[in-house]
Amino acid sequence: MRLALLLVLALAGCRQDSPPAAYQGYAEGEYVRVASPLAGILARLDVTQGAAVQAGAPLFALEQDNEAAARRGAEERLAQARAQLADLEKARRPEEIAAIEAQRRQADAALDLAEAELKRAERLVASGFQSPATLDQARSARDQAKANRAQVDAQLKVAHLASRADQVVAARAAVAQAQSALDQAAWQTAKKSVTAPVAGTVQDRLYLPGEFVPAGYPVVSLLPPGNIKLRFFVPETDLAKFKPGTKVKAACDGCDGDIAATVSFVSTQPEYTPPVIYNRENRTKLVWLVEARPGPNDAAKLSPGRPVDVKLP
């Protein structure tokens, strides 16, 4: 009798220490939460929950009246800066040059007259009909007329030139600054209309039109088809069997056949059996989290939260 009891206990101990036929776990999704870097009122929501979207498809748009006004202002400032630069890089208008040339002809005529008056004064002084002071006055008038013509010549030369080099450099810098402001305004306007960064299924819409969305807060949650992984829990006795790269098979209710997956992560820290495992025998045991990723085709069979049983091949 005692021998039979010991045999039963021994068999029970063997059954208790033997590895389970399958490791319990679940499927988990890695979501892409799409947000705008700018704040604003949600003006438009372009997708519905559960809809499949392609990369680049419109998701939502925030109100952008302020950004549109800033962009128009930046465009006007850029146009003004370009016009000023163009004006500085060219000579004066033909009408202005024509006016200066007319002044030069007047200066030439005045100089010719002053030269003639000087020669006349020299003859009269030499003949004794006028005093030497008259000759000094004529020479002074001739010198003044000559200086006046030189001044007009300088003005005409400047009129045919562009503006000073430092003024042109400053104008070019103003154009570059205005262009940067326009680029920033265009970027802000574009960021208010958000498109899907990847293809996937719309899992959740976190805001509705008319609500205020803070900067950086997700508005739409996407689940790409390949962003589903398996999470299951392995006791210490079987932990050595699982390493990154280990092949496993998973089964779930409603899945068409086994799902092949590859271990991608093994936790280095143990934890108590998670609450998803309800049987009393495992509740107080330490287990290690293991993650495995199925292929794209098999991942499509799973949905986040679905329980799975994972086995070694």
- Mean per-residue pLDDT, 24-53: 93
Same structural domain, 127 and 163: yes
Give yes or no for residue 47 having a pLDDT over 90.
yes
pLDDT digits (tens, 9 = 90+) for 128-158: 777 777 777 878 888 888 888 888 777 667 6
* Alpha-carbon distance values, 170 to 14, 16, 70, 78, 81 (Å): 88, 85, 24, 14, 10
Residue 8 located in a structural domain:
no
Per-position DSSP letters for 67-121, written without gaps between them: HHHHHHHHHHHHHHHHHHHHHHHS---HHHHHHHHHHHHHHHHHHHHHHHHHHHH
Residue 274 — pLDDT band, cuts 50, 70, 90? low
Residue 171's domain spans which residues?
Answer: 73-184
CATH code where residue 307 lies: 2.40.30.170
Residue 200 located in a structural domain:
yes
More confident residue, 163 or 305: 305
- Mean per-residue pLDDT, 30-53: 94
How high is the pLDDT of residue 212?
95
Same structural domain, 110 and 166: yes
Number of neighbouring beta carbons within 10 Å of residue 255: 15
Same structural domain, 87 and 138: yes
Same structural domain, 203 and 230: no
Residue 48 located in a structural domain:
yes
More confident residue, 108 or 27: 27
Same structural domain, 100 and 176: yes
pLDDT digits (tens, 9 = 90+) for 51-99: 999 999 999 999 988 888 888 888 888 888 888 777 766 655 666 667 7
Residue 126 located in a structural domain:
yes
Residue 1 located in a structural domain:
no
pLDDT digits (tens, 9 = 90+) for 288-297: 999 999 988 8
- Mean per-residue pLDDT, 11-38: 76
Residue 42 located in a structural domain:
yes
CATH code where residue 39 lies: 2.40.50.100
Same structural domain, 116 and 200: no
